[in-house]
């Protein structure tokens, strides 16, 4: 038994289309906990993953959105609605307690087009998420939040920022909200280990983005101080983006010690 936990986050862009990819990834990388986003359906292959040794909790939605967590450790105290946002019909939030920490899985709204209510919805969702994270910090909880944030934090997280100016993923208001969350004392786990540009987690299907490495980094893990102290590694695994019929996102993996 290892003394660390491998926790991954992956926007799978349809669990129906990517079920085999998820099983392969979990097995090849020996993943203990996997956060998934954009399931695109209410059905979930729970039985298959239970046979692999995982507990599965799912917050699905017909045809759109959807988040799930696979964990070799039984999740407790499951929350499937972002507090203060209980009337939201979009399945974008899933949280639980695992061992001695709180785990939060999000699929943040895209927000485009920016001249529509979709952008206002994104900013409102981020405000409510900030309030939830603030409450966790004020309660001195150990937690980590992972998922598809749909936020490009800095210019170096994009192949060419000129192509994204005016886009909801890079709008100043959105980046300020992201930094506001960081201001709670959270850490961008990936940037602790790799501060170089051109490190991406998403490549569009169009215009040869993957072979030309025209990507963006929008999938993140943010960690509270005590969890940060337990960090062993954080990496983006780009290999699944090169598999047959891949998701346009690739997994990010964090590793933490089991004990403080």
Distances in whole angstroms, Cα of residue 18 to Cα of each of 116, 181, 200, 240, 247: 31, 31, 20, 10, 7
Q: Are 90 and 65 in contact (CB under 8 A)?
A: yes
The pLDDT value given to residue 2:
74
Cα 225 to Cα 77: distance, rounded to the nearest angstrom: 22
Average pLDDT of span 234-244 = 98
Task: Using the predicted structure, report yes or no on whether residue 1 has a pLDDT greater than 70.
Answer: no
pLDDT, one tens digit per residue, over 218-231 is 999 999 999 999 99
Tell me whether residue 41 is exposed, middle or buried, using C-beta atoms within 10 angstroms of its C-beta: 0 to 12, 13 to 18, 19 or more. Answer: middle
pLDDT, one tens digit per residue, over 205-220 is 998 999 999 999 999 9
How many residues appear in the chain? 260
Domain ranges of the chain: 4-257
Tell me which residue of 181, 217, 187 sits closest to 201, measured CA to CA.
217
Average pLDDT of span 235-245 = 98
Third-level CATH fold of 4-257: Deoxyribonuclease I; Chain A (3.60.10)
Give the pLDDT band (50/70/90) at residue 260: low
């Amino acid at each position: 038994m290892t003394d660390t936990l491998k926790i991954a986050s992956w926007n799978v862009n349809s669990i129906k289309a990517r079920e085999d990819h998820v099983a392969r990834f979990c097995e090849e990388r020996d993943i203990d906990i996997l956060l998934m986003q954009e399931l695109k359906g209410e059905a979930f292959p729970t039985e298959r993953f239970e046979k692999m040794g995982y507990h599965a909790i799912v917050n699905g939605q017909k045809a759109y959105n959807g988040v799930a967590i696979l964990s070799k450790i039984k999740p407790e105290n499951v929350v499937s609605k972002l507090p203060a946002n209980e009337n939201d019909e979009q399945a974008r939030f899933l949280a639980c307690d695992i061992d001695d920490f709180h785990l939060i899985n999000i699929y943040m709204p895209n927000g485009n087009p920016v001249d529509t209510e979709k952008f206002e919805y994104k900013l409102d969702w981020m405000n409510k998420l900030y309030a939830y994270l603030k409450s966790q910090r004020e309660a001195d909880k150990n937690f980590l939040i992972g998922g598809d944030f749909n936020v490009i934090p800095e210019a170096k997280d994009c192949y060419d920022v000129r192509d994204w100016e005016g886009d909801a993923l890079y709008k100043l208001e959105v980046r300020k909200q992201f930094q506001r969350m960081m201001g709670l004392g959270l850490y961008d786990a990936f940037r602790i280990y790799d501060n170089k540009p051109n490190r991406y987690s998403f490549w569009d299907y169009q215009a040869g983005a993957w072979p030309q490495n025209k990507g963006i980094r929008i999938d993140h893990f943010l960690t509270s101080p005590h969890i940060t102290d337990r960090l062993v590694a954080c990496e983006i695994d780009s290999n699944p983006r090169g598999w047959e019929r891949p998701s346009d996102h690739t997994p990010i993996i964090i590793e933490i010690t089991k004990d403080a």
